[in-house]
Amino acid sequence: MISLPADGESWGDRVMSEPIKYTLTERDALIIVDVQNDFCPGGALPVAEGDAVVAPLNGVMDKFSLVVATRDWHPPHHCSFRGEGGLWPPHCVQGTRGAEFHPELKVAGIHLEVRKGMDEGQEAYSGFEGEPSLADLLQSHEVERVFVGGLATDYCVKATVLDALRHGFQAVVLTDAIRAVDANPGDGEKALAEMQEAGAALATTEQIA
Ligand SMILES: [Zn+2]
């Protein structure tokens, strides 16, 4: 129902206060980043409330004609692991329970999977560094805009969003479907600002029509 603006309120103000609704087409894809047991509470490298991204992602998955999920998929002695000189405890080792998708993630709604970090000597935060090539997959489906959610805001989500923009895709970060590591307090907020500065839009899954 449309009501007339109240005194002192212009139509412009009314429009500004309404969040944009995104209507999806076949040129849109959802990218689900690393929603794996090891990044959720109880995992080897847990992100606080990491499992909270599952419900909003499950809620919008069926609206997309293309859903791609990425997974960290490391060999047992990956260079990102502490014992190998890296920053992180061992996590998402190929074939382990920790590397599996969160059990509540609706995997039936995922069309394609990209695995990354398989090369023992190379870190891969971005889904665009995985196999098969995410850029090729998106281009072959004539995707123009990607919506990105998952874990974690300040690492793999950020790297994936920045790479999407570099490859010429529009990118929308789903703010209710991401959580940050926040190794330093505020890292998540900083990552959001960085993604916005690079040209990404921020929206919630509620804004997807
Ligand atoms: Zn990793």
The pLDDT, as a whole number, for residue 8 is 53
> Whole-number mean pLDDT of the chain?
94
Give the Å distance between the CA of 20 and the centre of ligand 1.
34
Which residues are known catalytic residues? Answer: 34, 116, 156
The residue among 205, 143, 206 whose CA lies nearest residue 174 is 205
Q: Residue 184 C-alpha to ligand 1 middle, in angstroms?
A: 18
Residue 19's pLDDT is what? 86
Taking only the tens place, the pLDDT of each residue in 139-186 is 999 999 999 999 999 999 999 999 999 999 999 999 999 999 999 999
Residue 18's pLDDT is 77
The letter for the amino acid at 37 is: N
Pairing of strands 170-179, 67-72: unpaired
Ligand 1 centre distance from Cα of residue 171 (Å): 23
Residue 96 pLDDT > 90, yes or no? yes
Token pair in block for residue 19? 């969040």
Q: 38 CB contacts (<8 Å, ≥6 apart)?
A: 44, 45, 46, 72, 91, 92, 98, 99
Sheet with 112-116: list strands edge to edge. Answer: 112-116, 67-72, 28-33, 145-151, 170-179, 201-203
For residues 167 and 128, the answer to whether their CB atoms sit within 8 Å is yes
Residue 98 binned pLDDT confidence (cut-offs 50, 70, 90):
very high
Closest CA to 105 of 35, 174, 30, 175: 35
Matching CATH number, 20-207, of 3.40.190.10, 3.40.50.850, 3.30.43.10, 3.30.565.10: 3.40.50.850
Give yes or no for a contact between 58 and 149, defined as CB atoms under 8 angstroms apart.
no
Residue 14 has pLDDT above 90, yes or no: no
Tokens representing residue 207 in the block: 């804004």
Q: Judge contact between 143 and 29, C-beta under 8 A.
A: yes
Task: Give the tens place of pLDDT for each residue, 108-132.
Answer: 999 999 999 999 999 999 999 999 9
